[in-house]
Amino acid sequence: MKLALGPVLYYWDKDTLLKFYDDIAETPVEIVYLGETVCSRRHTLRTDDWFDLAERLAQAGKEVVLSTQALLESESDLKTLRKLAANGRFMVEANDMGAVRLLAGAAPFALGPHINIYNPRTLHYLAALGARRWVAPLEMSHQSLQAMQRQRPKGMETEVFAYGRMPLAFSARCFTARHHNLPKDDCQFRCLDYPDGLTLRTREGRPFLALNGIQTQSAGVYNLIYELADMRGLGVNVARISPQAHHTGKIIRLFRDCLEGELAPQAAADQMVRLMPGHACDGFWHGRPGLEQVGQGRP
C-alpha cells in the first residue's frame, strides 16, 4: 500500500508552504496531491507556482497529482479548472463533476473525495471515462468499501482518507470571515491565522468542528492507523494523509513504519497523541457516527 499526502486544505503563507513541501520531498510518501481545493481567494501560490512546485516534487521522485477546487462558483473558478485539466503533464484529481467533464476521454484522472461515488455502477461509468483512481467518500464504512472492492473496475486504484481533520462540508459562506464579522469578499485572509482551522466547541466546551473558510471540518482527527492491515486486506492501494501545520512528516513516518511492520499500531497511536491537532476518531470506518473512536486505543 502506498502513502499519499493530500492537498493542503488550509491557507498558509508562501514561505511556509514552500518549506513544507521541501520537507515533504524528504518523507516516505509516494504520491503528493497539490493545489488549492477550498477557496479561490487564497492565492499565496498561483496556478503556475503550483505547476513549478509539482515539477520540483516530481524531480524528487514523487508522483504528483493536481487537485481541483471542490466548490466551483464563478467563471474564474472554471478558468483555473480548465488550466489544470489541460496541463498535459500531471494527473488531475477531479473534485467536481465539472472537472470530470473536462477530463473525460482527454486524460487519465483521479476522482477525489468530493465526487459522490457510493456504488460500483457509478465507479464503472467513471472508469470508462478515464478515471484511474478513486478516493472513497469520507463517510464510507469498511463494509461498504468491501462491497465496492468486490466489483472494482479493472485497473482502478482505491484510495482511503486515512489521517487528518475531515473536510465534511462546503458552503457559499465563509465561516472564518463570519467569525471576524467580515464580508467574504473582504475577508482580509483571516484563514492565515488558523493553520489547522479554527476550532468550534459546543457550549459545554467539547471540540466539535473546525472552521476552515468555506469548508467545515471535524475537530477530531480521523486516524486509521489501527486499520492499515484491514485496508490492505481489502486491497486498498493508497492511504491518504491530510497535511497539518506541524508534525506532518512525523505522522507520515509513523504510518510508513506501521506499514513496514517496524512499529505496532498501538505504539504509533501513542506517539501520535502529542502530534495531532485534535482527538482521534475513526467511527466512519466502522459504520458508526464519524466522531466516535471505535478501534483499539479507545480513550
Q: Which residues from 125-154 bind other proteins, rule CB under 8 A?
A: 125-126, 137-139, 143-144, 147-148, 150-151
Partners of 67 in the β-ladder: 93
C-alpha cell at 281: 476518531
The single residue among 121, 246, 266, 273 that binds other proteins, judged by CB under 8 A, is: 121
Q: Torsion-angle region of residue 297: left (phi > 0), alpha (psi -120 to 50) or beta? A: left
For 32, the 3-state DSSP assignment is strand
For 292, the 3-state DSSP assignment is coil
Binding residues for other proteins, rule CB under 8 A, total: 73
Q: Does 79 bind other proteins (CB under 8 A)?
A: no
The single residue among 9, 31, 32, 81 that binds other proteins, judged by CB under 8 A, is: 81
Q: Does 124 bind other proteins (CB under 8 A)?
A: yes
For 247, the 3-state DSSP assignment is coil
Q: Label residues 44-77 b or e (16+ Cβ within 10 Å = b).
A: bbebeebbebbeebeeeebbbbbbbbbbbeeeeb
- For other proteins, the closer of residues 59 and 116 by Cβ is 116
Site string for other proteins, 217-256 (x = CB under 8 A): -x--------------------------------------
- For other proteins, the closer of residues 155 and 289 by Cβ is 289
Q: Does 120 bind other proteins (CB under 8 A)?
A: yes
- For other proteins, the closer of residues 56 and 288 by Cβ is 288
Q: What are phi and psi of 90, to 5 degrees?
A: -115, 150
Sequence length of the chain is: 299
Sign for the pseudo-dihedral over CA of 9, 10, 13, 19:
negative
Rounded to a whole number of angstroms, the minimum distance from the CB of residue 133 to other proteins is 17
Judged by CB under 8 A, which stretch of 38-46, 72-80, 231-239, 265-273 contacts other proteins?
Answer: 72-80
Separation of CA 3 from chain center: 12
Rounded to a whole number of angstroms, the minimum distance from the CB of residue 268 to other proteins is 24
The single residue among 45, 53, 54, 100 that binds other proteins, judged by CB under 8 A, is: 100
Q: Is 201 exposed, middle or buried (0-12, 13-18, 19+ CB in 10 A)?
A: exposed
Q: Does 216 bind other proteins (CB under 8 A)?
A: yes
- For other proteins, the closer of residues 17 and 131 by Cβ is 131
